[in-house]
Chain A
Amino acid sequence: MAYSDKVLDHYNNPRNVGSLDKKDDNVGTGMVGAPECGDVMKLQIKVNDASGIIEDAKFKTFGCGSAIASSSLATEWLKGKTVDQALEIKNTDIVNELSLPPVKIHCSVLAEDAIKAAISDYRAKQAQRVGSEQTVS
């Protein structure tokens, strides 16, 4: 199977590989997929308290080249967006940008799931923080 140039580029030069401190309240972590399915994506965002903007995003992916490219692209797109804007990223945007063939669409779905999971983890942490601050005061 031939890969698109953009998939090859992300595979050869993946953006934002790494991990953020998952205990940090400003960091949301999403881990989706399963080893037995051949894909696991870990995607993390770090949100600026004051501006509400995603100031950093990192990923690590076990999966085929298209899965790596989808998550690498997702981190690029996440940076600089607000959390609400990030939720608007659709898997079809990733499919179009990377020219993924039909058999690889699940990779883009997984990336969208990873974004949503990271955001919901971040929001859960924030809700808890607000909750605990209220009890203290």
Chain B
Amino acid sequence: MKTPIYLDNHATTPVDPRVVDAMMPYFTQYFGNAASRNHEFGWVAEQAVDKARKQIADLIGANAREIIFTSGATESDNLAIKGIAEMYAEKGNHIITAATEHKAILDTCKKLEKHGYRVTYLPVKGDGLIDLDMLREAITDKTILVTIMYANNEIGVIQPVAEIGKICREKGVLFHTDGVQAIGKVPVDVNRDNIDLMSITAHKLYGPKGVGALYVRRKNPRVQLTAQMDGGGHERGMRSGTLNVPGIVGLGEACAICQREMPEETKRLMYLRDKLRNKLEAELDEVYLNGSWEHRLPHSLNLSFAYVEGESLLMGINDVAVSSGSACTSATLEPSYVLKALGLGDDIAHSSIRFGIGRFNTEEEIDYVADKLIHVVKKLRELSPLYEMAKEGIDLSKVSWVHD
């Protein structure tokens, strides 16, 4: 077993060597511009792009012509939200999203607010899921778009996307979802779920960084959006710019592998995730799960280790790559806004660790991480005045703390 161990697969994933193999010829041998219509080099590149388009579409139950290539999910989110806002400005100026969305969604919405749009930020329940009744009530005749992520990047909870899609369809409102954490991990079907637009990125599903896509529905309804990048009119005029052919080939191959291996891989990941959780909870008291257990990605676990601060915990497991909801290093000292949106106290948010298990993690690694964490949590609790007070029966919420 080699260290450091990578368990931060929500942040990014390594590129699968099979994906690299598929990409390689498109750097040097088939380097053509996919938009070159009058020679062999261009045709070969275009064929490769078309194949990738089909592979991506197959994974999400879409038609190949509904895939628009971008530089990644941040661009896809921007294109979807700004593009719809601009295109449908005459119909309305209201957008609905959720408090736990990725910054690429929230900051795009905030920008639109400065330009006269109105945005509703739905709160989430304690399990991290939105309340469907609140969504229904928030939709007005001015609402043009609902954008709710498929699965959350910090806590791994899967939103009731099919129900959201159904509500949006009934009300005649477009539905965009940021699908980056869910695609390739759980079965996603744009028709089953009534999704009109969906952001995709390659680097979360064992493809390369810097390439992604936006699914844009062509039928029932036909979705139009205003391009945010002007130029040669590539991608049906929705996103100009020479296509990143090797990247796109990689994204396509990554999708094909995910689709082929998902049933088996899901079982393996869930086994490892459950083992990690069970081991930790067997050896440590006051370990809290953040987010719904039932509606959760198979490889995702977010736990709070009460009375232990997250950054000191990461320091103790410095040969394991995970991330913490603690923001001790940030200038504001504010913990994760996602965990706070669940209603967690700041102290529990500061104590959280996010585990993202990936395709290349082994059972041996999971055992090592569990053992090491147990050791470090015990050690830090010996050091923790809060643990001592809690053991003495002091209610920490009733203590008046001395601070600025």
Contact = CB atoms under 8 A, between A and B. Distances in A.
Contacts of B387: 62
Contact of A65 (B308, B311, B403): B311
A45 interface: no
Contacts of A124: none
B360 interface: no
Contact of B382 (A11, A17, A31, A36): A17
B331 A103 contact: yes
A31 B315 contact: no
Interface string B366-390: 0000000000000000111111100
Given A31-B402, A68-B383, A19 B311 contact: no
Contacts of A32: 402-403
A19 to B, nearest CB: 7
B385 A117 contact: no
Interface residue SS majority, chain B: loop
Contacts of B1: none
Contact of A38 (B346, B385, B396): B346
Given A64-B328, A65-B312, A103-B329, A36 B385 contact: no
A62 B315 contact: no
B323 to A, nearest CB: 13
A38 B315 CA distance: 15
A30 to B, nearest CB: 9
Interface residues of B, number: 30
B335 interface: yes
Contact of A60 (B312, B330, B346, B383): B383
B349 to A, nearest CB: 9
A131 interface: no
B312 A37 contact: no
B350 interface: yes
A19 B388 CA distance: 9
Contacts of B311: 38, 64-65
A38 B335 CA distance: 9
A136 interface: no
Contacts of B346: 35-38
B309 interface: yes
Given A33-B401, A34-B401, A35-B386, A3 B309 contact: no
Contacts of B309: 38-39, 62-64, 67
A72 to B, nearest CB: 9
Given A32-B403, A35-B346, A64-B311, A40 B385 contact: yes
B403 A33 contact: yes
B333 interface: yes
Given A35-B350, A38-B327, A68-B383, 6 more contacts: A34-B401, A35-B346, A36-B345, A40-B386, A63-B309, A67-B309
Interface of B: 307-309, 311-312, 315-316, 326-331, 333, 335, 345-347, 350, 382-388, 396, 401-403
15 contacts: A1-B329, A11-B312, A11-B316, A19-B388, A31-B402, A32-B402, A32-B403, A37-B346, A38-B327, A38-B333, A39-B328, A61-B385, A62-B307, A65-B311, A65-B315
